[in-house]
Amino acid sequence: MYGGDILAGHSRMRKVPAPRVPAERGLVVEDAASGFCGAVVGFERTYDGDFVRLEDAARTTRLFALREAAFMIDGKRVTLERAVAPKKQESTRSASGSTKVENLRARTARASRIWVEGVHDAALVERVWGHDLRVEGVVVEHLEGLDNLGERLAEFQPGPGRRVGVLVDHLVEGSKESRLTTSLGEHVLVTGHPYIDVWEAVRPKAVGIAAWPKIPRGEDWKTGICRELGWGTPKDGWRHVYGSVSTFRDLEAPLIGAVERLVDFVTEV
């Protein structure tokens, strides 16, 4: 009696499939047909299928089709296959560095508010602290200028459970900003940063410069910055600044601290 399939032939006659090897960058292989030996430097996909690009010691590169048993490693036939990049682990931190709340459902907005001077301030706060603010149900609104603060507060009427946190640009002692933000009551907290504009609160490294240029007093700051840096118009400059910010690490410490204090203030029970 014979066991197994007699039509399959003797096991010693069967062709053993070549082992499959991930073609990771830097892996040195030999093309079995041509003898070309080189390191894996890339891949290309064409209508003929997938190809691997090899580079030899003379920096010559050639493309080879990823076919069965078409390559050799240490004298043994192998089948190269495209290496699968490891799945990037999703960050458990928000852009502000806080623990991210998964499957977040927006809560009902609090009565308390955070006010900022302009649209750019609001956009950067949302960019970095947006997740935290949605978790806490805090709405950020822009004042369209600090001169409107008194009128807005009279209309809003802050009180217990109805607090207002105000983020101010260029909040330094003796400035107009400091004079407009004093003696506003226990239910209003004003914080700020020392920079002329919120753009300057973005770290120079984040926007690809060594330092923010000094603009002569009396000249529109954003216009001068864009001229000095070759950014075109202030609208073009804002796109560059905004696109450079992804986490709190792209911002200067005074702005980070100012916003964090406001969030704590308006979410205190």
82, 101, 130: which is the final residue of a domain?
Answer: 82
CA-based nearest residue to 129, from 159, 154, 96, 175: 96
pLDDT of res. 259: 96
Cα separation, 198 vs 194, in Å, equals: 9
Task: Write the pLDDT tens digit of every residue in 151-185.
Answer: 999 999 999 999 999 999 988 887 777 777 777 88
Position 202 in a domain: yes
d(CA 240, CA 199): 10
Query: What pLDDT sits at residue 186?
Result: 92
Phi, psi of 6 (to 5 degrees): -70, -20
The pLDDT of residue 90 is 61
Eight-state DSSP code of residue 184: -
**Domain-embedded: residue 126:** yes
| CB 113 within 8 Å of CB 136 | no
For residues 145 and 69, state if they share a domain.
no
- What's the pTM? 0.64
Spatial CB neighbours of 44, under 8 Å, sequence gap ≥ 6: 50, 51, 53, 63
**How much is the pLDDT for 250?**
96
Among 82, 102, 129, residue at a domain's last position: 82
Instruction: State whether 211 and 125 are in the same domain.
Output: yes
Query: What average pLDDT does range 227-239 have in this prediction?
Result: 95
Supply the pLDDT for residue 146. Answer: 86
Whether 41 and 61 have beta carbons less than 8 Å apart is answered as yes
pLDDT for residue 152: 92
Same domain, 142 and 239: yes
DSSP 244-266: T--SGGGB-HHHHHHHHHHHHHH
Structural domain includes residue 98: no
* Domain final residue, candidates 38, 60, 82: 82
Shared-domain flag, residues 35 and 122: no
Residues 119 and 77 in one domain: no
Average pLDDT, the chain: 87
- Domain contains 91: no
Expressed as residue numbers, the domain containing 146 is 113-267
131 occurs within a structural domain: yes
- 28 vs 104 pLDDT, higher one: 28
pLDDT at site 126 = 93
Give domain status of residue 95, yes or no: no
For residue 82, the model assigns a pLDDT of: 85
Asked if the structure places residue 56 within a domain, the reply is yes
Tell me the HSE value of 2 on the side-chain side, using a 13 A CA sphere. 7
Residue 139 and residue 179 in one domain? yes
Same domain, 238 and 122: yes
**Residue listed under structure tokens 């030999």:** 30
- Both 33 and 136 in a single domain? no
The reported pLDDT for the residue numbered 166 is 94
Residue 141 lies in a domain: yes
Tens of pLDDT, residues 80-126:
988 776 665 566 777 877 777 776 666 678 999 999 998 999 999 99
pLDDT digits (tens, 9 = 90+) for 37-57: 999 988 888 777 889 999 988
What is the count of structural domains for the chain? 2
**Residue 77 pairs with which residues in a beta bridge?**
72
Higher pLDDT, 262 or 59: 262
Whichever domain contains 46, its CATH number is 2.30.30.60
Query: Are residues 169 and 229 part of one domain?
Result: yes
- Do residues 67 and 178 share a domain? no
Q: Which of 138, 155, 159 is nearest to 266 (CA)?
A: 138
The pLDDT value recorded for residue 174 is 75
- For β-strands 37-46 and 49-55, DSSP reports them as antiparallel
Residue 229: pLDDT band by 50, 70, 90 thresholds? very high
Determine the pLDDT at residue 13.
53
> Quick one: 23 exposed, middle or buried, by C-beta within 10 A (0-12, 13-18, 19+)?
buried
> Same structural domain for residues 152 and 254?
yes
